[in-house]
């Protein structure tokens, strides 16, 4: 086994590992949509698309002050 064959195996192993890590990260992002506080930040992605003055806000804010 020469150095070129060893590099090829190492390259394949590294590529396969990075693919598994990438798919694991994507699965983590879509399975845990809410954070610890319960906010779903995927709702905020529509702010750039729905920015007209007549559109409803992403999170409603009441005018009542909490005591």
Q: Where are the domains of the chain?
A: 3-47
* Closest of 19, 44, 41 to residue 30, by C-alpha: 41
- Check pLDDT > 70 for residue 65: no
Tell me how far apart the alpha carbons of residues 67 and 50 are, in angstroms, rounded to a whole number.
Answer: 33
- List pLDDT tens digits, range 54-63: 877 777 776 6
- List pLDDT tens digits, range 4-60: 999 999 999 999 999 999 999 988 877 777 666 777 777 777 777 777 888 777 777
């Amino acid at each position: 086994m020469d150095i070129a064959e060893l590099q090829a195996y190492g390259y394949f192993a590294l590529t396969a590992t990075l693919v598994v890590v990438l798919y694991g990260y994507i699965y983590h992002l879509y399975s845990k949509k809410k954070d610890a506080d319960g906010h779903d930040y995927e709702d905020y992605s529509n702010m750039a698309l729905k920015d007209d003055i007549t559109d409803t806000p992403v999170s409603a804010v009441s005018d009542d002050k909490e005591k």
